[in-house]
């Protein structure tokens, strides 16, 4: 979008928050870059330059605006919609792959050469993977500077900078202030790191939290997830150690309270929480297309901005999808809870009732299928899936089509399981569970075809947003996944 100058100028002049994250506006006369909704008086059009990423604006010599904080805007919805190299690369960069393994690790995960990855990212985003990762590190540093009392040396290391000098230079270059001055300007008082970190997760309005939080809580695995005092809490398996996150919906953001065993995981944890709640979606574009269908239009108008509940771990979601085959939500929770108690990694949670990390593939490889309390055919399906998961990429950068093919080749994995995993683990916005009982019941109530093939044909105009259509169809039923739970402990 950044190349459509006229459209970008209109968005800036109207301070249109819908375009935050889509592009960044650099102002030649001030040397700063802003989000489109910046509250200051818009500059003259001839003084504006537009960039597709914060990293590109930074590389061009502009620093971040202190008023609108463009580095903290919602991410571009493109990266969660696209299955091409650039989209996959951006999701992996957000998941910390470059910080933890460098550009060669990113290229290896994508199946391309370093040169190809560099060339395509620079051509489309105006910055290479190192610059994009650097922009992410700068934002992580800002969060730690403004919300914790950590010494600056520890902030630098936790943010992924190799030296305190590089950290200082980057903060001054990006924010126009040295780290000490940036902390001094912080509106909120800093807290000891032992108290945890609190960050605001912005989203594009409208946002209907009932379906995404309702779904996560209704399907919560005991010991791994819980609803407590109006907050969804769960454990996280992160690159450098375990963590616990508490997510609470607010009118204009989601409050995110993080307790991490290693602060180097901060940016990855934030990225996974944003992905879990689908906060980078573009609800205006999605709802506009779905509302063209006269059957869906009343559902969209009643509760606009529904999101797709995703996951923080693709392998975990695949296992849970198999456990949920042809059983009730409660039965699936029970099966998963037993698996967690037997094979999960224990964690300490002084603030609640979380007890374990969901077992990883290595731990699940040791399970005894004879101890599983469900039919033999599903035991075979589960053990076959666990054996195959090391060779199936269900990470944010996974190839949606290749993963579907690999999953469908396993015994007992049918269309419902494949599309459920594609929707929630891979994040494909066009996954469609036409065989789901709840979808077929909803279709019948709305006068739509109920046979999977006929319903899939009818739903063709909903592409590429059929995963979101699923959320609106599910909303017609009386099920806990559709309601934001009360404030009682669960």
Catalytic residues: 34, 436
Count of helix runs (H) and strand runs (E) in the chain = 23, 11
On the 0-12 / 13-18 / 19+ scale of CB atoms within 10 A, 388 is middle
Across the beta sheet with 241-249, what order do the strands follow? 197-201, 254-260, 241-249, 231-238, 225-228
What do you get for the CA distance between the two ends of the chain, in Å?
44
8 Å CB contact between 246 and 234: no
206 upstream amide cis, omega within 30 of 0: yes
How far, in Å, CA of 101 to CA of 92, rounded?
A: 11
Interacting residues of 422 by C-beta distance below 8 A, sequence separation 6+: 400, 403, 404, 428, 431
CB 395 within 8 A of CB 317: no
Query: Which among 74, 69, 7, 8 has a CA at the least distance from the CA of 40?
Result: 69
Alpha carbon dihedral 124, 127, 133, 138, in 10-degree steps, equals -120
DSSP-derived secondary structure letter, 252: S
Judge contact between 420 and 432, C-beta under 8 A: no
Q: Which residues pair with 285 in a beta bridge?
A: none
CA dist 295 and 12 (Å) reads 35
Helix, coil or strand: residue 351: coil
* Residue-wise DSSP of 84-123: SHHHHHHHHHHTTHHHHHHHHHHHHHHTS-HHHHHHHHHH
HEC profile of 294-339: CCCHHHHHHCCCCCCCCCCCHHHHHHHHHHCCCCCHHHHHHHHHHH
């Amino acid at each position: 979008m950044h190349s459509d100058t006229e459209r970008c100028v209109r968005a800036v002049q109207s301070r249109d928050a819908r375009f935050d994250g889509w592009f960044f506006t650099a102002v030649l006369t001030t040397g700063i870059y802003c989000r489109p909704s910046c509250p200051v008086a818009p500059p003259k059009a001839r003084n504006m330059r537009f960039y597709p990423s914060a990293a590109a604006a930074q590389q061009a010599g502009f620093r971040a605006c202190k008023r609108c904080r463009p580095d903290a805007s919602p991410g571009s919805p493109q990266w969660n919609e696209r299955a091409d190299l650039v989209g996959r690369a951006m999701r992996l960069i957000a998941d910390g792959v470059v910080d933890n393994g460098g550009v060669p690790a990113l290229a290896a995960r994508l199946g391309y050469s370093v040169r190809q990855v560099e060339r395509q990212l620079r051509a489309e985003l105006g910055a290479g993977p190192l610059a994009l990762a650097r922009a992410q590190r700068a934002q992580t540093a800002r969060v730690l500077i403004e919300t914790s009392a950590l010494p600056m040396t520890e902030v630098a290391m936790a943010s992924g900078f190799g030296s305190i000098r590089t950290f200082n230079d980057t903060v001054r270059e990006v924010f126009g202030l040295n780290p000490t001055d940036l902390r001094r300007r912080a509106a909120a008082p800093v807290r000891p790191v032992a108290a945890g970190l609190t960050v605001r997760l912005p989203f594009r309005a409208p946002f209907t939290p009932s379906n995404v939080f309702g779904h996560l809580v209704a399907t919560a695995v005991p010991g791994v997830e819980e609803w407590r005092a109006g907050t969804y809490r769960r454990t996280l398996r992160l690159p450098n150690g375990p963590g616990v996150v508490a997510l609470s919906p607010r009118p204009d953001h989601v409050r995110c309270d993080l307790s991490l065993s290693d602060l180097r995981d901060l940016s990855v944890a934030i990225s996974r929480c944003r992905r879990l709640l689908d906060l980078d979606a573009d609800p205006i574009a999605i709802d506009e297309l779905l509302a063209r269908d006269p059957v869906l239009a009343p559902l969209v108008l009643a509760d606009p901005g529904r999101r797709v509940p995703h996951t923080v771990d693709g392998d975990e979601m695949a296992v849970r999808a198999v456990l949920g085959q042809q059983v009730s939500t409660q039965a699936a929770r029970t099966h998963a809870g037993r698996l967690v108690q037997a094979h999960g990694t224990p964690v300490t949670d002084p603030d609640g009732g979380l007890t374990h990390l969901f077992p990883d593939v290595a731990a699940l490889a040791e399970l005894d299928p004879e101890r599983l309390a469900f039919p033999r055919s599903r035991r075979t399906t589960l053990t076959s899936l666990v054996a195959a998961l090391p060779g199936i990429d269900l990470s944010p950068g996974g190839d949606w089509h290749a993963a579907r093919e690999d999953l469908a080749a396993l015994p007992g994995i049918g269309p419902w399981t494949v599309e459920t995993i594609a929707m929630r683990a891979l994040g494909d916005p066009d996954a469609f569970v036409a065989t789901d009982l709840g979808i077929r019941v909803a279709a019948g109530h709305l006068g739509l075809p109920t046979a999977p093939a006929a319903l899939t044909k009818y739903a063709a105009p909903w592409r590429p947003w059929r995963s979101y259509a699923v959320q609106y169809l599910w909303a017609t039923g009386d099920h806990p996944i559709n309601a934001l739970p009360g404030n009682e402990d669960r």
